[in-house]
Amino acid sequence: MNPSLIQTIVVYALPVIFAITLHEAAHGYVARLLGDNTAYMMGRVSFNPMRHIDPVGTIAIPLLLYFVTGGAFMFGYAKPVPVAFHNLRNPRWGTFWVALAGPLSNFIQALLWGVVAVVLPGLGIQEPFFTRMAAAGIGVNLVLGVINLFPLPPLDGGRVLMALLPPRQALSLARLERYGFFIVMALLVTGLLTKVWLRPLVSFGYDAVTTILTPLASLLN
């Protein structure tokens, strides 16, 4: 195996595991708070990554795409947390918050990895491995959060949008769910999703993290 690939896997492993695990656990935790215990009863409100990792979507597909595209394109997914939306005390707004919980967990993690990236040099720690891991943590979480907010079911953004739309329009959008994954993959492969959605919003996310952490960086320098 290529040494650079091994280094990349090692650097990204922890950020990716945290990003996926906390994203899925957040869905289940908020669903339980709002009245649905389905994920909790199935053991999915858990920080154990093995309960969320899908062997195909989390491991096989990203590695295959990495090799096929020479590292230029990667995409993957975890096992979706089961939520019985009709069990929520307020199905409409409950769905909104359950869907939003996953991406929000990623944006919080991006900020926390940013804190690590700022604090390490402030403490005089210049180890490149940890610096790269912190940078990977920011990038992975921003990308995962932004992709999941794309307003098309079954992505989280699609469910957020359905909660905000009037019932008739929400039902029309819901009918796209069976095709949603293939539409998103097509948009990713053609580069449209990256150009129109992913790149601008991830760039905004980096700017937001930098702005929020600037006072901390100034304090440590």
28 neighbors 45 (Cβ within 8 angstroms): yes
Tell me what pLDDT residue 67 has: 66
pTM of the full structure = 0.91
Q: In this predicted model, what pLDDT tens digit does every residue of 162-197 receive, in sequence order?
A: 999 999 999 999 999 999 989 988 998 888 998 999
CB 82 within 8 A of CB 42: yes
Query: How far is C-alpha 20 from the geometric centre of its chain's CA atoms?
Result: 6
Residue-level pLDDT, tens digit, the chain, 221 residues: 566 767 877 888 899 889 988 999 999 999 999 999 999 899 888 888 888 888 877 777 777 766 665 555 566 678 888 999 999 999 999 999 999 999 999 999 999 999 999 999 888 888 889 999 999 999 989 999 999 999 999 999 999 999 999 999 999 999 999 999 899 889 988 889 989 999 999 999 999 999 999 999 888 87
Catalytic residue flag (residue 24): yes
What are the DSSP calls for 186-197, one per residue?
Answer: HHHHHTHHIIII
Catalytic residue among 20, 22, 24, 83: 24
Domain residue spans in the chain?
3-220
Neighbour count for residue 55 (Cβ, 10 Å): 9
- Structure-block tokens of residue 67: 């090799």
Distance CA(176)–CA(212), nearest Å, equals 37
Output the pLDDT for position 100: 97
Report angle CA 18, 21, 23 to the nearest 5 degrees. 100
